[in-house]
Chains A and B, each alone.
Chain A
Amino acid sequence: MSVIAISETAGSLGTEIARSVAARLGYELADREIITKAADRFGEAATEIVHATEEKPTLWDRFRDTQRRYMTYVEAIVLELAAADRVVLVGRGSAIVLARFPNVLRVRVTAPEGTRARRVEGGQGLTADAALDYVQRSDRELGARLRFFYHVDWDDSLRYDLVVNTDRLDVAAAVHTIEQLLGDERFQTSPEVGRAILDASLTAQAKAVLLRNPVTRPRQIVVSCRDANLSLTGSVEVPSEREAAEAEVARIPGVKHVGNEIVVLGAVRRGAGAA
C-alpha cells in the first residue's frame, strides 16, 4: 500500500522499470494515461495538454495562463491517482507534485546521454544523430517545463529518495532496489496520510473545475479541504458566480460537504454606495 513516483529521461528505461515494479506489486501503472485522463475529464484537447506538460514553453506561452490551467488539471489527476493508492506514476512532475507526502517513494531514473541515445536508436529505428538530438531535446524541454512550473531543477538528486543510473545497473536491479525500499514501513500509506492526499486531491480537482468554467475562471477563489469537507473563500463580483462555484465543486466525487464563504464584492460595493 504505497505510491511510487518516477521521474525519467528519454531512453533511461524508467518506464520499463515502472512497468516491472507495477506488475510485480500488482499496482496500477500511470504514465501517458494521466494526460489523456486529464484531457477527458476537464474537456480540453489532449494535444494542448501534452504541449503544456511536455514541451519547452515559448516566450508567448509564459504569458498564457492556459498553460497553468492545464498544469492544474494534470496535478489534479496526479493527486487523484495517488489518493487511490497502490500506483506507480511516471513523469509529468509527479515526483515533485507528490513530494510533500511521506508515503511516496520518489525515484529518478537516468543514464548518460550517449547510452540513452543508443537505446533510443535501437528501439525506435532512428539514426545515431537523430537519436542523440531527440534525447537532448527531450531533456531540455522536460527540464524547462519543470523549472517553469515548479521552479525546480529536475536533475537535483535531493528531489528524490533514490536516483538510479541505468548505465551499469539493469532494470531488474533497479526494480529490486525500489521494492526493497518500499518494504519499509515509512512508505506504507497510513490512514492520516491517505486522508491528507485525498484532501489535496479534492482541493486540486476543485481548483481545476473552477478554472475550467469560464464563469469562475477569472475570479479569485481559494479552495481548501479538510476530511473531504471543501471550503471556498475569496471573492466574486456577482452572486451567480458564487453559486456557480459551489455547484461546480459539489459535483466532484468524494466531496462530503461544501462550505461556501465566498464574498460577493459587487454587493458589498453597492451596499457601501447606498449607506
Chain B
Amino acid sequence: MSVVAMSDTAGSLGVEIGRAVAAGLDYAFADREIITEAAERFGQDARALTHIVEERPTLREHFEVGTRRYAAFVEATILEMAARDDVVLVGRACPFVLGEAPHTLRVRIDAPERLRAERIARSPGITPQAALDRVRESDRGRSARTKLLFHADWGDPLRYDLLLSTERLDVDDGARAVIQALAAERFRSTEASRRTMTDRALASQVHARLFANAVTRDRPLEVTCAGGVVTLAGAVDAAQLWVTAEEVAAAIPGVAAVRNEITVIGVALDTRSEGDELSHAAFLHGEGRSWGGYGGEWYEREWDAVRRYRDARRGQAQESPEPARRTS
C-alpha cells in the first residue's frame, strides 16, 4: 500500500523500471497516460498538455496564466491517481506534485548523457548525433519546465528519496532497489495518510475545475479540504462567481459537502429594499458575461445569485450568537 513517484530522463530506462516495479508489486502504472487522462478530463488538447509538462517553455509562457491552468490539471490528475494508492507514477512532475505527500517514495532514474544517447540511437533510423541532440534537448526542456512550474531544480538529489544511475544497474536491479526501499514502514499508507491524500486530491481537483470553468477561471479562490468537506474562501466581485464556484465544487465525485466562505464584494447585506443597492460592480464582468448589456436573462441570473448569497449570509448571521448587523 504505497505510491511510487518517479522522474526519469530520456533514455534512462526509468519507464521500464517503473513498469517492472508495478509488475512486481501488482500496482497500477501510469506515465504518459497521466497527461492524456488529464487532457480528456479537463477538455484540453493532449498535445498542448504534453508541451506544458514536458517541453521547454517559450518566453511568452512565463507570463501566461494558461500555463498554470494546465499545470493545475496535471497536478489534479496525478493527485487523484496517487489517492487511489498502490500505483507507480512516472513523469517529471510526479515527485514534485507528491513531494510532501505521505507514503510516497520519490525516485529519480538517470544515466550519463552519452549512454542515454547510445540507447536511443539503437532505435532504427536515429543517427548517434540525432540521439544525442534529442537527449540534450529533452533534458533542457524538462529541467526548464520543472523550474517554471515547481520552482525546483529537477536534478537536486534532495528532492528525491532514492536516485539510481542505470550506467551499471539494469532494469531488474533498479526495480529491486525501489521495491526494497518501499518496504520501509515510512512508505506504507495508513488510514490517516490515505485520508490526507484523498483530501489533497479533492482540493486539487476543485482547484483545477475552477480553472477550467469559464466563469471562475483566473479568480483567486482558496480551496481546502478536510474529511471530504471542501471549503471555498476568497473575495470575488460578482455573486454569480459565488454560486458557480460552489456548484463546481459540489459536482466533483467524492466531495461530501461544500462550505462556501467566499465573500462577494459590493453586495450590501443589511438592505431592506433590493432595487437600488446593487452596483455595477456586483455584476459579473469579463469573459463569462453574455453580450448585450445588463438586461434580460443574464440580469435575472445575477439577481438570483445576489439573493441567494444574501439569504445564505443572513442565515449564517442569525445563527451566530452575536449578529454582526448594522442598524441604521
- Alpha-carbon distance between A184 and B170 when the two chains are bound, in angstroms: 10
Most buried by A among B112, B167, B168: B168
- Tell me whether B108 is interfacial, beta carbon within 8 Å: yes
Which of B70-78, B157-165, B305-313 is the interface stretch? B157-165
Contacting A at CB under 8 A, from B92-146, are 108, 110-112
**How far, in Å, is A106 (CB) from chain B's closest CB?**
8
Cβ-closest chain A residue relative to B174:
A181
Which residues of chain B have C-beta atoms less than 8 A from A186's C-beta? 168
- Interface size of B by CB at 8 A reads 27
- Alpha-carbon distance between A176 and B160 when the two chains are bound, in angstroms: 18
Cβ-closest chain B residue relative to A163:
B163
- Alpha-carbon distance between A174 and B180 when the two chains are bound, in angstroms: 9
| Docked-complex contact A161 and B183, CB < 8 angstroms | no
- Tell me whether A212 is interfacial, beta carbon within 8 Å: no
- Tell me whether B266 is interfacial, beta carbon within 8 Å: no
Most buried by B among A102, A168, A179: A168
Cβ-closest chain B residue relative to A179:
B180
- Tell me whether B173 is interfacial, beta carbon within 8 Å: yes
| Docked-complex contact A173 and B163, CB < 8 angstroms | no
Which residues of chain B have C-beta atoms less than 8 A from A112's C-beta? 158
Name the one of B108, B169, B176, B187 contacting A161, with C-beta atoms under 8 angstroms.
B169
| Docked-complex contact B176 and A181, CB < 8 angstroms | yes
| Docked-complex contact B157 and A180, CB < 8 angstroms | no
- Alpha-carbon distance between A174 and B183 when the two chains are bound, in angstroms: 11
- Alpha-carbon distance between A112 and B180 when the two chains are bound, in angstroms: 22
- Alpha-carbon distance between A162 and B173 when the two chains are bound, in angstroms: 11
- Tell me whether A108 is interfacial, beta carbon within 8 Å: yes
**How far, in Å, is B116 (CB) from chain A's closest CB?**
10
**How far, in Å, is A70 (CB) from chain B's closest CB?**
29
Which residues of chain B have C-beta atoms less than 8 A from A162's C-beta? 162-165, 169, 177
| Docked-complex contact A168 and B177, CB < 8 angstroms | no
Contact (A168, B161) CB under 8 Å given A157-B108, A186-B168? yes
Name the one of A110, A169, A172, A174 contacting B158, with C-beta atoms under 8 angstroms.
A110
| Docked-complex contact B180 and A173, CB < 8 angstroms | yes
| Docked-complex contact A160 and B183, CB < 8 angstroms | no
| Docked-complex contact A169 and B163, CB < 8 angstroms | no
- Tell me whether B184 is interfacial, beta carbon within 8 Å: yes
- Tell me whether A136 is interfacial, beta carbon within 8 Å: no
- Tell me whether B186 is interfacial, beta carbon within 8 Å: yes
**How far, in Å, is B156 (CB) from chain A's closest CB?**
9
Chain A residues with a Cβ under 8 A of chain B: 102, 108, 110-112, 155, 157-158, 160-165, 167-170, 172-174, 176-177, 179-181, 183-184, 186
Chain B residues with a Cβ under 8 A of chain A: 108, 110-112, 155, 157-158, 160-165, 167-170, 172-173, 176-177, 180-181, 183-184, 186-187
Q: Which 9 A-B pairs have the closest CB atoms?
A: A163-B163, A173-B184, A180-B180, A157-B163, A177-B180, A177-B181, A176-B180, A157-B157, A180-B176
